[in-house]
């Protein structure tokens, strides 16, 4: 029974993304809209809002800079973003855009993807809607009609019917997919209010109302709790797809304003965690493809366009194109000033909703903050944060799997024969199974997090404080030190071995992580991470991304060729780049992995992968500093003299071998912070040993704020945000629906 339930849960967790549907009832295409811009739709931005936005001239220059790059690439007639960029660049040059090369045949891969309900179709529909509304008159008539028909045929929510003969494997539930699906539905419904959408027969106005009700929930949760996919250098770009569509095209001024307000909040958080163009923070979700260099981040182009805080050129024409052609939305000036600040500050945030799958079972449990564990609202809230199978949600999750025939979808085929295992299980049985398997089935759970980021002009250090220690992770990036896009350092516990040069995505769990998360804590410019997996490795149940196995070591990414000098002393690796210093220590002895030509190295040719072999348990300490504090040689001597200690937890057998899950007690005499003590004894009566600095305890989980920084303040669960720097201000109040800016 246990292994059957694991397999079912694994199948649910394997859901990987949303896939868009299209059906055609054979009706003649109706009149397509022309371009929809602020020249034809009144802007909802009031003088009170716009007074403190970035200067129009600055913004025009930033958009032009990006479009020069994007339109410098040859026109791709099958890519909506390429068409948008070339059209906008042509208008800037005083020319009429020529999109005639784009044909129905060029768009056939997108249309086939939508008709097959493949992954990320909602992203494609978002771009198709934008293209049609902005450039409809410039498109070939037949192509415009096909785009329109695919918009009308899209399946916008999981409760809609699925066309006969089609298996819908779309993933509607993570918070980024929710906003994209709903924004798509709202704007499509607003655009075609009196037309019956071909997938479900409802009118566009009915779709608009359906989306509006759910958008109210989504905005309320983000305003109160922030993004569960916290500071993600992948999924914040996707959130912006939905938010920009509403900010640019929603006829409802209040909704367009609310979308702009949340974009403002995201841009302030991005600005406060940006280091020379790199979103080098802890991330709720990230991947190997985004983590090894700031240039690889999905958010890199967006950050460069908005803030121009790096000389590194654009490398990818991506969804930043939608920001480059935006006509209503401009970020607040205070965000630009935060990104450009040369002050040394700490920015703390709290985000997400608390949910503990290891808590004692209570059949009468109430959801936090007045939420619900039932119905569509519960599914949006908790599946939105990756919470499919905590015991609190398990009855709703199984009910949903059965109600929408998810065992029939491509992602559930391998577990379809196990449907009878849960078919008749009552709620108490489901809760008990989920609680017994809490570690195995919740790797993607993005429960409430407290982040701490210390940023100076030279280097930044960021950590997720004491977040789900020892549990299975999935795409979580717990800490990082960042100098610039090339010089960054982090540690993790890998799920599998080094990917091959031919297929780096085959074993991306090596750098993505996806094994046990550490217990980490940061104070000032120092962070400590204690790795002690609270589950056994081995083959486990499942395969690929959902195997429960992990490698018997931890490791660090430290690209030595991107530092000016690197010194190794007394267990420390200490690097300098310009005036920035990064020092990293491991309790276990380390060696540099020697790479072969058939292994993926992202083009690095010198030492970069520091292996701490001997077990999956370890302690890593990082301290960063700058030349403003001391010469590099003095920093090296002070760090080498610090002699950290990391002893096995008291629960280890006397004189015996310490088990991998026992934790450790750490003492570190930091040259800058003083004596830091931290510990974790998972098998002890009081497992979480507090972080102390010179004997004074540090609260890792303050519950009073959403934002806490000299330039940004917001109380927890109030929906009101204030940012201020050098005379520029931002004040957004989601309860009152007001947005005010000054500069």
The full DSSP string for 638-696 is HHHTS--EEEEPTTSPTTSPPPTTS-EEEEEEETTTEEEEEEE-TTSSS-EEEEEETTE
Q: Is the dihedral angle over the CA atoms 544, 550, 552, 557 positive or is it negative?
A: positive
Residues 449/350, Cβ–Cβ less than 8 Å: yes
266-295 pLDDT, tens per residue? 999 999 999 999 999 999 999 999 999 999
pLDDT at 740: 98
Whether 35 shows a pLDDT value over 50: the answer reads no
CB atoms under 10 Å from CB of 657, counted, come to 10
Could you tell me the pLDDT band of residue 413, with boundaries at 50, 70 and 90? low
């019917």: which residue's tokens? 161
Spatial separation of the C-alpha atoms in residues 602 and 341, rounded to whole Å: 31
Percentage of the chain lying above the pLDDT 70 cut:
91
Tokens of 610: 């520091």
Q: Are 198 and 30 in contact (CB under 8 A)?
A: no
How much is the pLDDT for 656? 77
Among residues 557, 441, 447, which one has the least CA distance to residue 494?
557
- 661-665: average pLDDT: 95
Helix, coil or strand: residue 347: strand
Phi-psi region of 722 (alpha: psi -120 to 50; beta: other; left: phi over 0): beta
**pTM over 0.85, yes/no:** yes
Q: How far apart are CA 656 and CA 652, in angstroms?
A: 7
* Residue 377 near residue 371 (C-beta atoms within 8 A): yes
Q: Kindly list the domain boundaries of the chain, sorted by start residue.
A: 2-7+357-436, 31-281, 449-706
> In this predicted structure, what is the pLDDT of residue 112?
96
3-state secondary structure 178-206: HHHHHHHHHHHHHHCCCCECCCCCCEHHH
pLDDT of residue 43: 67
pLDDT band at 401 (very low <50, low <70, confident <90, very high): confident
Across residues 597-618, what is the average pLDDT?
Answer: 97
| CA–CA gap between residue 391 and residue 387 (Å, rounded) | 10
In angstroms, rounded to a whole number, what is the distance separating the alpha carbons of residues 641 and 634?
11
pLDDT over 60 (residue 33): no
17-32 burial by CB neighbour count: b if 16+ within 10 A, else e?
bbbbbbbeeeeeeeeb
Q: What is the pLDDT of residue 423?
A: 74
Percent of residues, the chain, with pLDDT higher than 90: 83
538 band by pLDDT with thresholds 50, 70 and 90 = low
Instruction: Kindly state the DSSP code that residue 368 receives in the 8-state scheme.
Output: G
pLDDT, tens digit, 9 for 90 and up, residues 335-393: 999 999 999 999 999 999 999 999 999 999 999 999 999 999 999 999 999 998 899 99
Query: With the C-alpha atoms ordered 171, 176, 181, 184, is the resulting torsion angle positive or negative?
Result: negative
Query: Closest Cα partner for 273 from 430, 444, 463, 127?
Result: 463
Confidence check: pLDDT of 605 > 50: yes
Residue 410 is predicted with a pLDDT of: 62
pLDDT at position 42 is 57
pLDDT confidence of 417, banded at 50, 70, 90? low
- 589 burial class (0-12, 13-18, 19+ CB within 10 angstroms)? exposed
Q: What is the torsional sign of CA 535, 536, 542, 545?
A: positive
Among residues 444, 451, 311, the alpha carbon closest in space to that of 382 is found at: 444
Do 1 and 432 meet the contact criterion of CB atoms below 8 Å apart?
A: no
Q: How far is it, in rounded angstroms, from Cα 266 to Cα 370?
A: 25
pLDDT at 419 over 90: no
Check whether 704 has a pLDDT greater than 60: yes
Mean pLDDT of the region 546-562: 89
CA proximity to 218, closest of 232, 205, 207, 228:
228
Closest by Cα among 287, 353, 253, 274 to 504: 287
Q: What is the pLDDT of residue 412?
A: 57
Give residue-wise pLDDT tens across range 471-529.
999 999 999 999 999 999 999 999 999 999 999 988 999 999 999 999 999 999 999 99
- The pairing of beta strand 488-492 with beta strand 572-577: unpaired
Q: pLDDT class for 686, splitting at 50, 70, 90?
A: confident
- Residue 468: both structure tokens together: 């789900």
CA separation for the pair 383, 394 (Å, rounded): 11
- Sign, CA dihedral 655-659-663-667, equals positive
pLDDT of residue 16: 31
Residue 372, both tokens: 């619900």
The average confidence (pLDDT) of the chain is 91
The C-alpha atoms of residue 702 and residue 711 are separated, in whole angstroms, by: 18
CA torsion 364→367→369→371, rounded to 10°? -120
pLDDT digits (tens, 9 = 90+) for 46-104: 999 999 999 999 999 999 999 999 999 999 999 999 999 999 999 999 999 999 999 99
pLDDT given at position 402: 85
CA distances to 39, 135, 264 from 34, rounded to whole Å, are 12, 7, 29
Q: Do the Cβ atoms of 375 and 383 come closer than 8 Å? A: no
Q: Tell me which residue of 517, 518, 527 sits closest to 454, measured CA to CA.
A: 527
40 pLDDT above the threshold of 60: no
């Amino acid at each position: 029974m246990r292994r059957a339930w694991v397999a079912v849960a694994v199948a649910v967790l394997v859901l990987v993304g949303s896939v868009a549907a299209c059906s055609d009832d054979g009706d003649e295409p109706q009149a397509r809209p022309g371009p929809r811009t602020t020249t034809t739709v009144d802007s909802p931005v009031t003088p009170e809002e716009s007074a403190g936005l970035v200067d129009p001239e600055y913004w025009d220059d930033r958009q032009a800079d990006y479009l020069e790059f994007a339109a410098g690439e040859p026109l791709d007639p099958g890519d909506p973003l390429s068409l948008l960029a070339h059209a906008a660049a042509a208008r800037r040059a005083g020319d009429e855009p020529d999109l005639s090369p784009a044909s129905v045949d060029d768009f056939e891969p997108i249309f086939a993807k939508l008709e097959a309900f493949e992954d990320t179709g909602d992203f494609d529909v978002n771009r198709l809607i934008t293209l049609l509304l902005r450039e409809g008159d410039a498109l070939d008539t037949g192509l415009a009609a096909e785009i329109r028909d695919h918009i009308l045929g899209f399946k916008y929510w999981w409760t809609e019917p699925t066309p006969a003969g089609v298996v819908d494997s779309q993933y509607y539930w993570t918070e980024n997919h929710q906003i994209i699906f709903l924004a798509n539905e709202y704007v499509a419904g607003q655009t075609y209010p009196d037309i019956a959408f071909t997938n479900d027969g409802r009118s566009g106005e009915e779709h608009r109302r359906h989306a509006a009700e759910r958008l109210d929930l989504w905005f309320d949760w983000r305003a109160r709790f922030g993004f569960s996919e916290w500071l993600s250098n992948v999924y914040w770009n996707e959130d912006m797809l939905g938010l920009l569509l509403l900010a640019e095209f929603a006829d409802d001024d209040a909704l367009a304003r609310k979308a702009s307000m949340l974009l403002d909040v995201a841009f302030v958080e991005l600005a406060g965690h940006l280091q020379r163009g790199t979103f080098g923070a802890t991330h709720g979700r990230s991947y190997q493809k985004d983590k090894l260099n700031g240039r690889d981040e999905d958010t890199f182009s967006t950050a460069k366009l908005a803030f121009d805080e790096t000389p590194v050129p654009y490398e990818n024409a991506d969804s930043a194109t939608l920001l480059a052609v935006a006509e209503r939305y401009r970020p607040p000036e205070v965000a630009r000033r935060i990104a450009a600040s040369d002050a040394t500050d700490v920015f703390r945030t709290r985000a997400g909703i608390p949910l503990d799958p290891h808590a004692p079972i209570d059949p009468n449990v109430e959801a936090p903050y007045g939420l619900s564990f039932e119905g569509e609202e519960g599914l949006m809230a908790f599946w939105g944060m990756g919470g499919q199978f905590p015991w609190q949600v398990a009855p709703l999750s199984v009910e949903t799997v059965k109600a929408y025939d998810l065992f029939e979808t491509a992602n559930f085929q391998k577990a379809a024969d196990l449907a009878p295992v849960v078919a008749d299980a009552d709620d108490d049985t489901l809760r008990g199974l989920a609680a017994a398997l809490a570690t195995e089935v919740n790797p993607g759970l993005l429960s409430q997090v407290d982040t701490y980021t210390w940023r100076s002009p030279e280097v930044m250090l960021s950590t997720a404080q004491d977040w789900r220690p020892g549990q299975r992770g999935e795409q979580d990036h717990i800490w990082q030190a960042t100098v610039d896009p090339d010089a960054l350092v982090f540690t993790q516990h890998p799920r599998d071995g080094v990917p091959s040069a031919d297929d780096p995505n085959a074993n991306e769990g090596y750098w993505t992580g996806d094994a046990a998360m550490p217990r980490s804590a940061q104070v000032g410019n120092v962070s400590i991470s204690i790795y002690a997996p609270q589950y056994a490795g081995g083959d486990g149940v499942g395969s690929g991304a959902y195997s429960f196995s992990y490698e018997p070591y931890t490791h660090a990414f430290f690209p030595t060729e991107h530092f000016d000098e690197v010194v190794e002393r007394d267990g420390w690796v200490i690097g300098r780049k310009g005036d920035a210093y990064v020092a990293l220590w491991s309790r276990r002895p380390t060696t540099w992995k020697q790479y072969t030509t058939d292994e993926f190295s992202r083009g690095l040719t010198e030492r970069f992968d520091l292996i701490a072999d001997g077990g999956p348990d370890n302690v890593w300490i990082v301290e960063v500093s700058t030349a403003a504090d001391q010469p590099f040689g003095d920093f090296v001597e002070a760090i080498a003299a610090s002699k950290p200690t990391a002893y096995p937890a008291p629960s280890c057998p006397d004189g015996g071998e310490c088990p991998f899950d026992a934790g450790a007690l750490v003492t570190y005499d930091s040259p800058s912070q003083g004596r830091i003590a931290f510990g974790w004894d998972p098998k002890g009566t009081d497992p979480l040993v507090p972080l102390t600095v010179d004997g004074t305890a540090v609260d890792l989980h303050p519950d009073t704020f959403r934002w806490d920084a000299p330039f940004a303040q917001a109380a927890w669960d109030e929906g009101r945000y204030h940012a201020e720097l050098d005379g520029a201000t931002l004040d957004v109040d989601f309860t009152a629906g007001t947005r005010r800016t000054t500069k």
